[in-house]
Structure 1
Amino acid sequence: MEILIPIAGIITLFFILLIVKRFFDICVICGAISLTWISLLVLYKLNMFDNPLIVAMLMGQSVVGIYYLVDSKVKEELKIFRLPFLLTLTTAGISLISVSNDIIRVVILVSAVWAVFILIYLYRSGKNMKKFVSRLIECCKKW
C-alpha cells in the first residue's frame, strides 16, 4: 500500500490535469508529481504517512524538472550557475522533509559555492577563465 497510493495518485492526477490543461498551460506530469509529493508531505507532517523516502524521491523528480525548465529558459551565459542552482533546489527540498542539524553549515557551503560561481561569472571574459567557463557551461551538453 505504501507505494500503491502515491503511484495511483500520480495516475489519477495525471488524467485530471490532462483535462485541466485545456484551460491552463501546465506540464501534466510535473503537476501530477508535484501535487502528489505535496499531498504526501502534508500527510507526513500530520503523521498520516510514514515513508519520507517516497516523498523525497518525488521531490527529487520535481527538483530535476525545475532545474531543466529553468535551464531551457535562461541565457547561455547564465548556465554557469547550474551547480549552485541545483544545490539550492536540493537543499530546499531536503529541508522540507527534515531540517538537518547541520543546515547552517549546508547553507554556508551552498552560499560559498554561489559566491565562487558569481566571481567566476564576473571574471569569465578573462583570458585564463574562458576555457574553464566554457567547461562549466558545457558540463551538461549532450554527451
Structure 2
Amino acid sequence: MKEGVLTDRQREVLRYRKAGLTQQQIADIIQTSKANICTIEKSAMENVRRARETLDFFYSLDARHICTIEKGSDLLEASKKIYAEAEKIGIKVRYDNIQLMNRIREEIPEKNKSRFVREKIEVYLKNDGDLYFE
C-alpha cells in the first residue's frame, strides 16, 4: 500500500539502505536485480526531494521574502545580509551564524559549495525567526 509519496517497495529499499545493506544484498533479499534496486532507490530519492520541496513551499507561505543571495556570494557575508534584513523588519533570526550557514549547506546543498553560493538563493523569514530557502 502506498502511503505518502513512497511505494511500499521504495520504503523497503530505503530501510535496507539505511541499515547499511548494498544494492546487491537488497536485490538478493527481495529476489530482483541490482539494476532494479538502483532504479527503485533513485525514484524514491527523487520522490523524497520533491516532497521536501513541496513542504518547503508550503511552510514558506507563512514567511516573507527578505533577500536574495546572489551566485558567488560568501555564506558568511550572506548570513550577515540575512540578519540585517531580518532586523529591518524587527524579527530575530533563531539561528546563530554557524547554524545558519549549516542550514543553508544542508537544506540546499545543490546551491552551494564550501562557503560559496553556486546558484542564487531566495531567503524567506517567518515571524518566529525560522528561515526557508529556495
The TM tier, using the shorter chain, reads 0.3 to 0.5
Q: Which has the higher helix share?
A: 1
Higher relative contact order structure (alpha carbons within 8 Å, sequence separation ≥ 6): 2
Structure 2 length-normalised TM: 0.36
Structure 1 length-normalised TM: 0.34
